[in-house]
Chains A and B, each alone.
Chain A
């Protein structure tokens, strides 16, 4: 990643994090404020419910008390106590309940038998003893309890009164449905209220105008928790996309310790969520704008700072690629400018050192050449000198033998001069390497010819060398046949020299991709890694009488053929030369083993 990209990323991240942090802070504060308001609203509604509950309780108490204290009731109860038939009073509860606007009213005999029931007239005669079996004193205030009706169990606010006649207690239980209290509530917008009625038997149900909206598994588990723990609890319910609600569950005590109902107050978080969404949107817009402005500004700034750095990097790259003549523009007096100046100084210094190094290498090369020449020329010159001195000595000391000596000396002189010419020719060849005339060459054929040619040298006793041909299917290579033959011959001669005690010389050919490979492995003494490294250096040799140009010429020829040569060797095991040559374009594979070439393909 470039420096500019890093700078842009850093600026973007910084702006985003900053805006995000601010947005989070605002959102948190807004959330706290909303929760505070929500708690106040819930408390207000619960207080309203309690007031309505108490008011309704007072009404019910007054109504039931009025019935219990009325002359008609006293008369009826007296008659009943005196043995009047219950059947005559079967409709009395309904009449009394209607007069006092009560939903429920039971007139109950001392033994708990229902004499008259307003809400379930058909239930006369059945026993109702839940309050008689209650050990504590009967409550004077209203209480919550489920009342059995033909339609099922109904949650009611009840009031119980006793009418005492002739040492007998008759009971009046009257009340109203609790949903009337819930209906009378007027919750502000965003608040919902319902009551979960939990009868002793069967499943519970919701009461109230908002009962449908509390149908949620989380609310159900909240209610269950309140019923079991006898305490209040709250939960947040997800009502859909961007609609959440805090639901408070408040237990409502009943006639016994069992909780008969739970007040549910739902406080919509819609406004809060809307505000949070708005904050998020604004934050996103600010962040987006900030990022845009940051990118533009940081882009400009980064461009200003990174341009000289980029120029320096480019210059360094060019130097790496060998172009030393590079100059960086110093843009100012700052650190970047100083860096550019330092870079320029460094390159100038490097260039000077390079010039000096080239000069010294050139001198060293000349010295090496001079040493080689001196060494090579000194060997034939010494016999020449001896021979000439012998001639001079023979003329002076024994003129009768001079002719014989002269004859021998001239032969020697000619031989040494020929030797000198050979040495000079080699140097001349190296300096004037001919340009290869490329054509399709059957590599396998070439190898077989050379093996045939060197058959005599290979079979020389006692250092007999056994040639082994492993020639694969190799297409024609693009090569100059004369030069290529010289390459192979050179390598074979080197191998023969390496195997003074005889061995095996393996010729191997095969094709890899668009190249033909020729490998020659001997089983000679092998080379050290250092020798391998310097093997293709001109004038380097490991032999007593080598010029050190053979393998240098081989490498030069292979290189002129756009090929490559490498060597691998292991001491006391042998050496392998690996030559890769490009295939001739359009060449066909040449069958191995029979010595024939693909006639139609080569050169076409």
Chain B
């Protein structure tokens, strides 16, 4: 008997251990996921002019869905649309809709989608040939319409007016907004009737506005599931054997010269073209990427990163201080060279460092750059009223499709709008390269670096999916110890 009991005990112990291990790895329903983010967002409306649209889009993606989507591997997949096709001119596209309900219980119809897309892009003629089919007629050919409408701005939103006259936005996403305090806190609750199945976590709560340093401290002390990290904090967190999720260098840090005709303050005297070129040659992008971004970033010479396009290395030129000095001297012979006021995001310490480094480098070329912090430089509306000659912008990579991404970047920059149709009509990478090269020739945008998104994750959080461009997919997110 004793001889039988020992093997039975050993077998049962193994089974119990295996069961426990399986139980901890299996998704569980319930729980609240608390996330700390740096930026303050006031509205989830994908079309609102926010200071931090990328952060807004990350949260809004929980509620508002697009017709198509890009998965963690960067592959296009159906979302609200089951299938799509275009005519031969690539100008008219039709999307077959999935049978889906809005979060208020009403059925998503082609008319709702057409209304939403028309608002997102007034240039498009959107119609509903039948209840489940949406037709989009663009002014020109769009080669990558399916990728384009995966951008957050084309999220399907049903807009209604409440009793008090306020706008009510209704989506089809896996989570619905349950509580919000603009600029401070958003809480999303699981959509029980989500067409893809109920998400695991009951609630996802975003706490906004904390500084990155404070966030790091709160992560160590508080019950947060995830926290945004600044690039320079990655090394410290990693050294403590914490989990850090990093995207590819996707965000573009660029110096953009403001001009009255391109969104700058009216009456502002533009910076001389030679000085712009000289400044571009004086900036030590390698030092910025290697030191300030701790080799996590990549020196930028194009609007899109090398890993996305494959042609970035052919754009721009290397640092050349002597040439910069020559150009500066040449300009000084014809115009009075005033100091360049460079505005950076007041709430971003890294942006301040980069701006100061640009000033240091510029000084070596004899150009005076005066960095200063501004509160709303990411908002196109606010940008038109600031006094700066140039701004240091950090632009998110909204798509992994080069054409869509370039189109979105141009839209975010508020420059080169006339090139949008050419970009969307570009069928080959060479076409995009030519377009981008021409855009950069004027040196009105000086790419500085491509910067990754970084996120610290608590060890009890599972299935937090961060795409290569830094966007989140939280449908499958679950936390241990929920119930």
Contacts and interface: CB of A to CB of B under 8 A. Distances in A.
Contacts of A126: 360
A281 interface: no
Contacts of B356: 120-123, 150
Given A122-B353, A125-B284, A87 B290 contact: yes
B14 interface: no
B360 A87 contact: no
A90 interface: yes
Nearest to B293: A87
B292 A88 contact: no
23 contacts: A85-B290, A85-B295, A87-B294, A87-B295, A88-B235, A90-B292, A120-B356, A120-B360, A121-B353, A121-B356, A122-B353, A122-B354, A122-B359, A122-B360, A123-B356, A123-B357, A123-B360, A124-B287, A124-B291, A125-B284, A125-B287, A126-B360, A150-B371
B232 interface: yes
A207 to B, nearest CB: 22
A34 interface: no
Interface string B212-248: 0000000000000000000010010000000000000
A118 to B, nearest CB: 12
A415 B292 CA distance: 160
A125 B284 CA distance: 10
A90 B291 contact: yes
A563 B290 CA distance: 127
Most buried by A among B235, B354, B356, B371: B356
Interface in B349-404: 353-360, 371
A125 B360 CA distance: 11
Most buried by A among B353, B354, B355: B353
A52 B62 CA distance: 61
A16 interface: no
A91 interface: yes
How many of chain A's residues touch chain B, expressed as a range? 10 to 19
A406 interface: no
A510 interface: no
A91 B213 CA distance: 14
A24 interface: no
Given A90-B232, A91-B232, A122-B358, 16 more contacts: A85-B295, A87-B290, A87-B294, A87-B295, A88-B235, A121-B292, A121-B353, A122-B355, A122-B357, A122-B359, A123-B356, A123-B357, A125-B287, A125-B291, A126-B360, A150-B371
Contacts of A143: none
A124 B353 CA distance: 11
Contacts of A90: 232, 291-292, 294
A86 interface: yes
Contacts, number: 40
A88 to B, nearest CB: 7
A126 B361 CA distance: 9
A87 B235 CA distance: 11
Interface of A: 85-88, 90-91, 120-126, 150
A361 B290 CA distance: 140
Q: Which 5 A-B pairs have the closest CB atoms?
A: A122-B356, A122-B357, A87-B291, A90-B291, A150-B356
A123 B295 CA distance: 17
A87 B356 CA distance: 16
Nearest to B291: A87
Nearest to A120: B356
Nearest to B354: A122
Nearest to A124: B291
Contacts of B371: 150
Given A125-B284, A125-B287, A150-B371, A88 B294 contact: yes
Contacts of B232: 90-91
A66 to B, nearest CB: 22
Contacts of A88: 235, 294
Contacts of B295: 85, 87
B237 to A, nearest CB: 14
Contacts of B290: 85, 87
A407 B69 CA distance: 190
Contacts of A120: 356, 360
Interface string B274-308: 00000000001001001110110000000000000
Most buried by B among A85, A87, A123, A150: A87
A123 B360 CA distance: 7
A86 B295 CA distance: 11
B407 to A, nearest CB: 33
Contacts of A150: 356, 359, 371
B35 to A, nearest CB: 26
Contacts of B235: 88
Contacts of B354: 122
Contacts of B291: 86-87, 90, 124-125
Nearest to A125: B287
Interface in B181-237: 232, 235
A85 B356 CA distance: 21
Nearest to B233: A91
A148 to B, nearest CB: 9
Contacts of A122: 292, 353-360
A126 B356 CA distance: 13
Contacts of A86: 291
A33 to B, nearest CB: 53
A212 to B, nearest CB: 24
B166 to A, nearest CB: 45
A123 B294 CA distance: 15
A125 B355 CA distance: 16
A90 B290 CA distance: 10
Interface string B332-347: 0000000000000000
Most buried by B among A85, A86, A122, A125: A122
Interface in B118-161: none
A91 B354 CA distance: 14
Contacts of A85: 290, 295
B244 to A, nearest CB: 16
Nearest to B287: A125
B131 to A, nearest CB: 58
B84 to A, nearest CB: 46
Nearest to B371: A150
Nearest to A123: B360
B448 to A, nearest CB: 13
Contacts of A91: 232
A66 B358 CA distance: 33
Contacts of B294: 87-88, 90
Nearest to B289: A87
A552 to B, nearest CB: 107
Nearest to A149: B356
A126 B357 CA distance: 11
B405 to A, nearest CB: 28
A87 B292 CA distance: 7
Contacts of B292: 90, 121-122
A124 B291 CA distance: 8
A125 B356 CA distance: 13
Contacts of B355: 122
Contacts of A124: 287, 291
A86 B294 CA distance: 10
Contacts of B287: 124-125
